[in-house]
Amino acid sequence: MKQAKVLSEAELKRVLALVASQRHAARNRMAVMLSFYAGMRVGEIAALTIGDVLDGEGRIRDQIILRAETTKTAEARTVFVNGKLRREFERYQSCYTNGDRGRPFLMTQKDTAFSPNTLCQLFGRIYTDAGIDGASSHSGRRWFITRLAHSGVSPKVIMTLAGHRNLSTTQRYIEVNDHMMRAAVEGL
C-alpha cells in the first residue's frame, strides 16, 4: 500500500491558504493543524472533546490526554501542545458557541460530531482542492514524524509521541528524499 505524501512547506502553505478561503475555515484549519502539529490520527481528532483541550477554567491545556478508547493501539497517549498549536487553539477557541466540556471539539456543518470516516473525507477534499496528489488524512501525521526525525529527536521519543508500539512502524513514516540525503553528507 502506498504511503501518504509528506507535504512540503509550500504545499502546507497552499493547503492553509485554500482552507482560509473556504466555508468552515476555522474548523478545517484546526483539523489540519492537529494532524500536522500534534501528529494525531483522524480518529483521535474526531474523538476530541472541548474538555480534552480546555481545563475547568477554560484555559488551553499544556497536554492533551488521548483516552485509550480513542487511540488505534487502545492505549492512552499524551499529546504535548507546542506554541504553534497553542496559538491555533486560541484562534479557534472563539468559534465555540457552547462551552459544554463533553461536546466534540470539531463539529460538522450539521452540528454533529465527525466520524473518523467523514473527517478522512474532509482531508481528502482539502488536498484535492489544493491540487496535491497522493496526500491523505495521514499526510500530516507523516509530516509530524518526519520533521521530528530530521530535527534530531530520539527515535524512542518519536515512537512514543506517535503512539507506536514498534520502532519499525515509526521508521516507515519517515520521509527521505535527495535533498535530505545531500544535506546529511554535506555535514561530514
* Degrees to nearest 5, angle at CA 41 with 37 and 43: 135
Spatial contact of 6 and 180, defined as CB atoms under 8 Å apart: no
Determine the average pLDDT of the residues in 13-37.
96
Q: What is the mean pLDDT of the chain?
A: 91
The span from the CA of 30 to the CA of 91, in Å, is: 9
pLDDT score at 171: 85
User: 18: pLDDT confidence band, cut at 50, 70 and 90?
Assistant: very high
Determine the average pLDDT of the residues in 95-113.
83
Determine the average pLDDT of the residues in 137-153.
91
pLDDT in tens, 31-72: 999 999 999 999 999 999 999 999 988 899 999 999 989 989
CATH superfamily of 9-135: Intergrase catalytic core (1.10.443.10)
The span from the CA of 16 to the CA of 156, in Å, is: 31
What percentage of the chain carries pLDDT values higher than 90? 68
User: 175: pLDDT confidence band, cut at 50, 70 and 90?
Assistant: confident
The span from the CA of 44 to the CA of 70, in Å, is: 6
Instruction: Indicate if the pLDDT at residue 99 is higher than 80.
Output: no
pLDDT score at 1: 58
Where are the chain's structural domains?
A: 9-135, 141-186
